[in-house]
Structure 1
Amino acid sequence: MGSGRSSITVRVPAKVNVQLAVGAARPDGFHDLANVFLAKDIPVAGGMAGGSADGAGALLACDALWNTGASRAELLAICAELGSDVPFSLVGGAALGTGRGERLTPLRVGGGFHWVFAMAERGLSTPAVFREFDRLADGRSIPEPVASADLLEALATGDADALAAAVSNDPQPAALSLFPELARTLEAGRTAGALTALVSGSGPTAAFLARDAQAAQQVAQELRSSGTCRSVRTAAGPVPGATTLTEAHDTDVPVGA
């Protein structure tokens, strides 16, 4: 057309159906759909159960919109079918997860804790991290996991220093093996004054425990200028799980729009 351009790049996002419910066909041959729109703030492939949070949120929203009357136990059973971490995303707070993580025992927490999270430039596949964990084990006997008494006590008393001394993450060496640059991020947080630093879950998000809100802001500020991560967020918890923020209501947006 004479524009003078020899190439052009177009970006089109993927569509993810977190639930696809199909009813009877309409007269035009199409089926009505329920659309779920996600405003996602948890990093993708970041080791923070972001996908599980999406699942729990979508389930809670559909339950409210359609007035299913499902009991809490029924919702939790559906969550367990969706994924190991989805039940916790619905329940929230602090809990001990057993089995594959779906069996939850609520834990007593004596106060809030202040965290700083450093998001990495790229993600890490959870299956890949656990495969690396198995490879590093190299046939060695792995002890049966048990809940740390020191950790439970630190949570119950709300003691940040005690919690910092008690936290642990078995998959962390595997995550660092696949993403060695994370070691620099962890060290940057320690240097900035964090009480402790660890990889969150399977990574690659790095988590730092701070003594209080002011200390968390200081750690976050220094991490932002360290050049070791993509972005930094602060948060305090525990907090409740999936929560309805607005009342269910009808909309004039056309079905399928």
Structure 2
Amino acid sequence: MTAQLHPVSGIPTPVKVWAPGKINVHLGVGKSGDDGYHELATVFQALNLGETLTLVPGGNGSIVVRGRYADADVPQGDANFARRAVNLLISALEDERDVDVLRDLDIIIDKQVPVAGGMGGGSADAAAALCGAAHLIGGVDDGLLHDCAVEVGADVAFLLRGGTAIGHGRGEKLSPVLTRGSFHWVMATSASQLSTPTVYSRFDDLNPDPEPAVVPAEVLTALAAGDLDTLAGAAVNDLTEAAVSYMPELAEVMEAGRDAGALLPLLSGSGPTIGFLARDAHHALDLAVLLQATRGVKEALRTTGPAPGAHIIDEH
């Protein structure tokens, strides 16, 4: 189904929005609460490898997926994160605001973040959709946007803001983090997928009484100073052992990255994508070439952080 690309008379023009992907520079995992969610202490960093959405008012409610990962299994209809985000905003405002322009939006997704890899591509779609929808109705209170974002998924609130931030709770309680300079990453994706609930369940099996989740002071100090070596020695992802227990090849990819000179191999979220910290752009290029030839790596993608959060890039 083809989305309408040109405005209908009397209907606002389409709006184009960009939102970043992310990496968890550190991910500490604590106990599971009564709601089934684990207490997290994480450091998000937004990456310049992002998603672009075009919201077209006056359409028929279609979702069109284009771009590098257009052939991936992207949910359609109300199951799509972008559509769900818009629907939540409509529900939150329809009793007090005119939100008719948000009904029957066509959503065109330029898919540039790998799907189901722990980099937040679906969450970026939701963040972009919220940003664009808010623009179409003349602005929305930041607190309300945050609440809608959290209801879609814990990462969405961060991707609205971008930059680098500590996330507590499920990751939705955010505090900005000072950083210096750019951080160069090579994201090694896998042809296989990992179920997030399954990885967390295995974490529980391996850690029946985990310590409270914390972000080490050394991680924050290193980010503020742009000290890559200290960051490499302090940052961890507590889900790594659980993910590797399901996909042993992840450990082999991490070791290959270390052998190739990566400062830090870091599971992205619950995986299976692995982020490798490089010293600079030239080092990242060398790493990407070596990792691309490594068994178990589907793609080696270069990116940098921190990147800005969701924002309008073109109103036409």
TM-score normalised by the chain length of structure 1: 0.83
The one-character-per-residue Cα deviations of 1:85-106 (angstroms, maximum 9, x if unpaired) are: 1100111111010111101000
Residues 91 and 127 of structure 1: CA distance in aligned 2, closer, same or farther (over 3 Å)? same
Q: Hey, what's the Cα distance between the residues in 1 that align with 2:236 and 2:118?
A: 14
Which residue number corresponds to residue 116 of structure 1? 186
Moved beyond 6 Å, runs of 4+: none
Question: Cα distance, 1:212 vs. partner?
Answer: 0.7
Q: What secondary structure sits across from 1:244 in the alignment?
A: strand
Which residue number corresponds to residue 6 of structure 1? none
User: Among residues 192, 205, 209, which one is paired with 2:277 in the alignment?
Assistant: 209
* Larger-Rg structure: 1
Which residue number corresponds to residue 230 of structure 1? 298
Which residue number corresponds to residue 66 of structure 1? 137
Question: Cα distance, 1:210 vs. partner?
Answer: 0.5
Which residue number corresponds to residue 149 of structure 2? 79
Structure 2 residue runs without a partner (length 5+): 1-71, 91-102
Equivalences for residues 105-254 of structure 1 within 5 A? 105-137=175-207, 139=208, 141-247=209-315, 249=316
Which residue number corresponds to residue 76 of structure 2? 15
Which residue number corresponds to residue 36 of structure 1? 107
CA contact (8 A) 1:151 1:163 kept: yes
Aligned length, in residue pairs: 227
Which residue number corresponds to residue 166 of structure 2? 96
Residues 96 and 193 of structure 1: CA distance in aligned 2, closer, same or farther (over 3 Å)? same
CA contact (8 A) 1:44 1:123 kept: no
CA contact (8 A) 1:188 1:228 kept: no
Greater CA drift, 193-202 or 36-45:
36-45
> Residue type of the partner of 1:227?
R
Q: Hey, what's the Cα distance between the residues in 1 that align with 2:303 and 2:283?
A: 12
Q: What secondary structure sits across from 2:186 in the alignment?
A: strand
Q: CA RMSD in A?
A: 2.0
The one-character-per-residue Cα deviations of 1:136-167 (angstroms, maximum 9, x if unpaired) are: 22x3x211112210000000001111111111
Question: Cα distance, 1:12 vs. partner?
Answer: 10
TM-score normalised by the chain length of structure 2: 0.68
Greater CA drift, 219-228 or 164-173:
219-228
Q: Does 1:45 align with 2:113?
A: no
> Residue type of the partner of 2:224?
A
